[in-house]
Chains A and B, each alone.
Chain A
Amino acid sequence: MIKKQFRLLADASYTKNRLDNRKIEKLVHLLNRKDIKSYIQALKNKERNMTVTVTLPHTPKKSEKMLFKSMYPDKKIIYNIDPSLIVGLKVIDNDLVYEENLKEALETIANFASHNL
């Protein structure tokens, strides 16, 4: 089987954006050991694709949660707290990382200064 077929299998393993255990059980019986490994990888990729991780310096407020829900309506949102993230936030959407914080901004200024001044 090729990668594309495993991706299709992973897509078919979901029902209403949730992994369907019944479907998975049916599928796994038809695969050999090597194929199961690739299937798990495809499922992991799919899960990563459907999950957004939001890291904030404080416990998220209701309004903030609403905002993220509206931004990613079809994705599962996981909230993390990292107090070192001063005046900022970090959003991981699959392979895209949006990050903004005071430390990064100061580093950018330092880089700019060392290169141009």
Chain B
Amino acid sequence: MIDSKNIIENLEKRLMAFGQDKKTQNVGFIEKINDGVVLASGLSKAVMGEKVLFSDGSSGLILNLDEDTVSIILLSGGENLKEGDVVKTTGQLLSIDASEELLGRVIDPLGNPLDGKPKIKKAKLMPLERIAPGVVNREPVNTPLKTGLKAIDSMIPIGRGQRELIIGDRGLGKTAIAIDTIINQRQNSNNKKLKPVVCIYVAIGQKQSTIAQVVDRLKQENAFSYTIVVVASSSYPASLQYLAPFSGVSIAEYFMEKGQDVLIVYDDLTKHAWAYRQLSLVLRRPAGREAYPGDIFYLHSRLLERAVKLNKTHGGGSITALPIIETQADDISAYIPTNVISITDGQIYLKGDLFYLGVRPAIDAGNSVSRVGSSAQTPAIKAFSGKIRIELAQYKSLEAFAQFGSELDAATSAQLERGKRILEILKQPQYQPLSEPLEILSIWAVTNGLLDEIPVNDVQRFEKEFHEYVKAHNQKLLDKLALGEKPNEDILKDMKKSIDSFKKMFVSK
């Protein structure tokens, strides 16, 4: 048994060890406080991005280094600060505690819990600013990340490690697509054969009520256990709104380093750009186009470059990013939208006209693209999805032509009718993502003309009931399609048989 003398000696040794490092502080004095930005003199050894502590216990982040002064943005508190107060460097870059305990939690960008539960312990400190993994550590996007939305999984597929922008005017369902994608990852977490996906939802500059609704919905759909919500609502200072996506991606990197796949949603980067513009103007940085600072492109590119698919030697983890951008009056050629479009690997463009026509999700297939996702599609869905995009494009051009009212030949009329049914099949209610086999069945049926006899108004009902029918009567077929392999003749015959037998029942009803 260890006696008290040994314990004390041991403690003394540890005490000596503590004394050997640090205890050198760089101090300065507050010269000016202006709109959440502190100007301090001294701090000659301060480093860009370093965390500093004020005499009242509040913290800040160094964002500007001048000849005699440094500019610090306040991260917390700061109401009692005054001119002449002491500010000390900490020698640490801004970091966030990351661990598995964060799953199912709501936190602010500094890692403080907002859900009333205790602060996480035994965490790893992850720096907020970090250089993205290099080319050698990466591998091409090759694994699908299923959204459960037919329109996306068939025409604009997303792969793990991809950055796919969701862009559109306000109120068109951008967040709904992101939330559906998070909900769809439930099948991965329930099925031990599939690799689970950790989801991170970063809310930037949104109303607290909207965020509460999202959290509530995720809980209702049993999607909260594998999700982390990072909140910097509109009532938060611009500094925290600026840091929120970096906090999210730092947590994502923690899981990625463990070989896990992560999905991160930045909702939205327009407000993030606004927050950064506000900070930059207060910091007196030169303003450029639309008063954004010159490094606004770099801000988003360095954030989105951290979305990556690592190769096997580096653990094989991935971060898939779904940034959201809100446009004004469908203008995708504005400054921030064009910036983010050029950074990402494709975009899902939502159009107001389609939304008000009842096409939901209101995805404009013509302007939407996935630059790398097709290589991540499973052979099963790839076999049928190629046709749908062409048929839809043909329908769109014919539809415009048919509006002149001239008589159409039989082939054109048939093509128009087919197009209407394709459009109907691509409609999908919110919070009801589909599994891949069901998506395949729907797309295959409509593109092969098997729904041509069904009235357009009944297509959605037909689809829903057909899915129920297959689940009840031909689970084996769904299991075969779930393997993701290109369907052989037997499977195609089985699919045809199922739909024919159901069609008879449906028509007779």
Contact = CB atoms under 8 A, between A and B. Distances in A.
B278 interface: no
A89 B26 CA distance: 16
Interface in B41-100: 42-45, 67-68, 88
A1 to B, nearest CB: 15
B68 A3 contact: yes
A97 interface: yes
By Cβ-Cβ distance, the 9 closest A-B pairs, closest first, are A95-B42, A97-B25, A105-B18, A108-B18, A100-B23, A97-B27, A95-B44, A95-B27, A98-B24
Interface in A86-113: 94-100, 104-106, 108-109
B8 to A, nearest CB: 13
Interface string B118-152: 00011000000000000000000000000000000
Contact of A100 (B19, B26, B43, B44): B19
Contacts of B88: 97
B23 A99 contact: yes
A63 interface: no
B14 interface: yes
Interface of A: 3, 94-100, 104-106, 108-109, 115-116
A26 to B, nearest CB: 26
Nearest to B11: A109
Given A3-B68, A109-B14, A96 B19 contact: no
Interface string B23-46: 111111000000000000011110
Contacts of A94: 42, 44
Interface residues of B, number: 19
B65 to A, nearest CB: 14
B7 interface: no
Given A94-B44, A96-B45, A105 B28 contact: no
Contacts, number: 40
A97 B87 CA distance: 12
B15 interface: yes
Contact of A96 (B25, B67, B122): B25
A96 B15 contact: no
A106 B19 CA distance: 10
B100 to A, nearest CB: 16
Contact of B24 (A97, A106, A108, A109): A97
A95 B26 contact: yes
A106 B67 CA distance: 37
Contacts of A99: 23, 25
B42 A109 contact: no
Nearest to B121: A115
A68 to B, nearest CB: 16
Contacts of B25: 96-99
B68 A96 contact: no
A95 B28 CA distance: 6
B122 A109 contact: no
A94 B67 CA distance: 16
A105 B15 contact: yes
Contacts of A96: 24-27, 44-45
Contacts of B121: 115
